[in-house]
Structure formats: C-alpha cells, structure tokens
Amino acid sequence: MPRPHSADQKSALLAGVAAFGSWGLVPVYWKLLKAVPADEILAHRFIWTWVFMVALLSWQRRWPEVLCNLRSPRTFWLCVASGVSIAVNWLVFIWAVNAGRVLQTSLGYFMTPLVNMLFGAVFLRERLSRTQLASVVLAIGAVIYLTVDLGTAPWVALALCISFGTYGLFRKISGAAPTPGLFVETTALVPIAFGFLFYLAGRGTSHFAYTKTGMSLLLISTGVVTGVPLLWFAHAARHLRLTTLGFLQYLAPMGTFCLGLFLYHEPFRPAQLVTFVLIWIALIIYTIDAVARWRIGKAIERVPPLEM
C-alpha cells in the first residue's frame, strides 16, 4: 500500500511539468496577440492577473497574509521593486517573442540559474565553490563569444536573465509568500496599467473593444495564462524536492528553444550553437554540484547527534 504522501508527490510532479511546460510553450499564446503592442499586452496582463489573484486569495482565504505584507513598509517596497523587475521581464519577453527572437529568450532563461547564483554571491554573501565559479565563468565566456561574433550584445537574453534574477533577489529578501507577494506586486502597478489603457482608449488606439471580441477575450485571458501556471508551481514547490524543481525548470527554456528553432524557424548561426552548448555545459556543472551538495546535506542530517 503506497505511503499517504505518494499521491501528493505524483500530483506535484505533474503540476511541476505542467507549470514549466506551459511557460515553455507560452510564446505560442503571445504570437496570437502579435497585432497588439507589447506595452498594451503588459498592461492587460497586470490588470487581469490582479483580478485572478483577488479571486484566488478570496478562495484560499489568505487576505491576512496580504495585510501583513502591506503593514510592513520593507516588505511592501521590496514587493514594489520586484513588481518593477517582473514588469521589465514580461515586457522584454513579450516584445522579443513577437519580434522573432524566441531563441534569445530561451538563452536568457537558460542563463537565469547562473545569474541567480552570481547574485547570491554578490548581494547575499553566499560563497561560491570552485565548481560553481567555473560554471559562471563559462557562461560569461559564452556571452562574450556571442557578442564578438554578432558585433552586439545579446541584449534580450541579458535583459531577461538579469531582470528575472533581480526579481528573485527582491522576492527572496522580502520574505513574502509567492501568492500574496504577487498580489502586492500587481496591486502596486495596476493603477499605472489602468492609466495607460485609458490613455490608449482616449486616443482611439486600444485593441480592447466590444467590436474586437476575440482579441479582447485573448487579452482578458492573460490573467489566467499568468496565474494558473503559478498555482501549479506552488503545488509542485510544496511537495517536491528542490533538486527535482531544479531539473524541471529547464523544461521552460528548452520548450522555447524548440519553438524558435523548429516551429518559427528562426536563424540559428554557428556562434549561437556554440553559445548554447557552452551554457548547457555550465548548467550541467552547476546541476551536478547542486545535487552533490544536497546529498551531502541529507547525509549529515541522518548522522545521529553525539551524546554528551
């Protein structure tokens, strides 16, 4: 007879695959909104995600957690900062997808774990092992190589990994839980989003109208596209090991990589192939080191304390 928690672990694994898989396939959705400027899509994404979060928090009865975050000036302003970071990330990603740069978005998210590790060392005084340092140096070398070959920096990839790394850093030090924290982030920026959409409506350039039902429904569904994968991720994070989540996170950039290469047939230069291979090698080094550290930690936990 299976242990009681085995069902939770199976559902969590499915939820994790669904979350990261949907993030990897989301460029298909943004392509449906190609006629809408990225800044207008972003404004709708904040507004409808906020609506989704209001419904979710009411259903989960977690408003006390939100009020706790709002009462703490430090937590609130860190959530505002993380909201700005994720806004930059979302804007660049949406623009890049519809500008035919899906492969660069994939590169950016492949580099994100390494940027997170680097930010931890720089801002949180976390010590890097030689293996971790080697993976970071290899990734930096890959970006320099691509920059020299292209004659310009892969700014989309860099903007995505730096903005998402900054987002993770702010969220980590804020101490806010994922769902209440996302609500505070969106709440802080929703007034700006509303103001921008009213401005577009006043100019007659808004794509949200009764005469454009299909487009309007797609814009409304940005809240669901944002919120549902976060629910899946929250369930996965609650029941899966961090090492398992670490492996699953590569599904998203691998999905966008396959879309850019095989579905959208974006140009793929030899220098890009070399860069991706170097980044993948760096991630393999990083992952092996993380798994080894996790096993050592588990082994130490199993050692019984000395009796005095």
pLDDT at 199: 96
Residue 299: pLDDT band (50, 70, 90) is: low
Confidence class for position 237, pLDDT limits 50, 70, 90: confident
- State the average pLDDT over residues 83-108: 96
The token duo for 230 is 């976060």
Task: Assess whether pLDDT exceeds 60 at residue 2.
Answer: no
pLDDT for the residue 16: 92
| Region at 64 (left for phi over 0; alpha for psi -120 to 50; beta for the rest) | alpha
Distance, in Å, from the CA atom of 132 to the CA atom of 119, rounded to the nearest integer, reads 12
Flag whether pLDDT at 276 surpasses 60.
yes
Give me the helix-helix angle, 102-123 and 73-98, nearest 10°: 150
Q: Quick one: what percent of the chain has pLDDT higher than 70?
A: 94
* CA distances for 246 relative to 16, 70, 156, 271, 289, angstroms: 10, 31, 23, 27, 12
What pTM was computed for the model? 0.92
The pLDDT score that the predictor gives to residue 265 is 96
pLDDT at residue 218 tops 60: yes
Q: How far apart are CA 133 and CA 140, in angstroms?
A: 11
Contacts (Cβ under 8 Å, ≥6 apart) of 117: 126, 128, 132, 135, 136, 286
Kindly list the distances between the CA atom of residue 164 and the CA atoms of 7, 31, 89, 142, in Å, as whole numbers in the listed order: 32, 22, 6, 19
Tokens of 114: 């390494």
